[in-house]
Amino acid sequence: GIHDSLVAWWRFEPGSVFRQDERSLRYHLSGLYPQLMAGKIGQTALNVFYGTSASWSLAEEQRCSTLIESNVFSASAWVKLSANAWNPAYATGQYATVVSDLAQNSANYRGFFLGCSRADTNLTFILSSPIGPVALTAGFQDQVGSWAHLAATYDGSQAVLYLNGTEVDRDTVQFVPANVGDGLGVGKKVNGQPVDGWVGGIDEVRIYTAALSSNVIAEMVAATDEAQVPDTDGDGIPNW
């Protein structure tokens, strides 16, 4: 069945609802729901094609308020990064955001970021700490234009970054989580101008309040539809 620590799951499927859903992610400038595209899992995925022209509204961000209230968590998603992510006509900022609650409070940053750096096209997992942000990175250039699975975990000491089910970086971090009430953004920078937007597809975004094992993450990558996901406890619900 559903993993006990799964606290948010954006499937981007018509009619899907799980605690937080895609209807809480609505464009600020257009007032329209996000556009959808053919998904990696299921029928549809979020399609972010102009990272500069729209942002999630502050009110909607509050509905997606910080879900990670402790220093143990995991975040995962399927993504397809467009080559337009480096075109300033489509997006601005240093990063392309998949999911993040990294927000500035006075002079300090708190929270995490998962996405890509526009400077070097590296997959990037950033965690705030008392000594400043700590970044885990891995090459991502050969993934542009294709669906790739990202996962990031933190167990209270070790931060680990995975690409397509394989560990690509790890570090010891004293993580400082975001404040309760800070926004959590999917496809954009949290609370601010519409910068650091993703350009391309995002599917199956999940937030867990546990550090998932490498075996669980490998199962996510191996399963490209619900029929392929194991059901360990036999309750008829896949191991999400």
Q: How confident is the model at residue 238 (pLDDT cuts 50, 70, 90)?
A: low
Distance from C-alpha of 217 to C-alpha of 40, rounded to nearest angstrom:
16
Lowest mean pLDDT, pick from 73-82, 155-164, 175-184: 175-184
The answer for residues whose C-beta is within 8 angstroms of residue 9's C-beta and 6 or more apart is: 18, 19, 20, 204, 205, 206, 207, 240
Tell me: pLDDT of 44 over 50: yes
Contact by Cβ (8 Å): 193, 106: no
User: Among 10, 14, 32, 54, which Cα is nearest to 184's?
Assistant: 10
Rounded to an integer, the average pLDDT of 197-226 is 86
Distance from C-alpha of 187 to C-alpha of 198, rounded to nearest angstrom:
5
pLDDT at 182: 67
Q: Residue 215: beta bridge partners?
A: none
Rounded to an integer, the average pLDDT of 21-26 is 41
For strands 108-110 and 112-117, give the pairing: unpaired
pLDDT at 91: 75
Q: How confident is the model at residue 166 (pLDDT cuts 50, 70, 90)?
A: very high
User: Among 67, 61, 40, 82, which Cα is nearest to 197's?
Assistant: 82
Q: What is the pLDDT of residues 170-203, one digit of tens each?
A: 999 999 888 766 677 788 776 555 568 888 899 8
- Residue 74's Cα: distance from chain center in Å? 10
Better pLDDT: 169 or 16: 169
b/e burial code for range 30-66 (CB count within 10 A of at least 16 → b):
eeeebebbebbbbebbbbbbbbbebbbbeebbeebbb
For strands 95-100 and 35-38, give the pairing: unpaired
Q: Give the 3-state secondary structure of residue 84.
A: helix
Instruction: Supply the DSSP string of 170-215, one letter for each residue.
Output: EEE----PPPTT-B-EESS-SSSSS-S---EEEEEEEEESS---HH
The answer for residues whose C-beta is within 8 angstroms of residue 66's C-beta and 6 or more apart is: 101, 111, 177, 178, 179, 180, 181, 182, 183, 184
Q: Give the 3-state secondary structure of residue 23.
A: helix
For the chain, the average pLDDT equals 77
Token pair of 32, please? 């329209």
The sign of the torsion formed by the CA atoms of 136, 195, 86, 115 equals positive
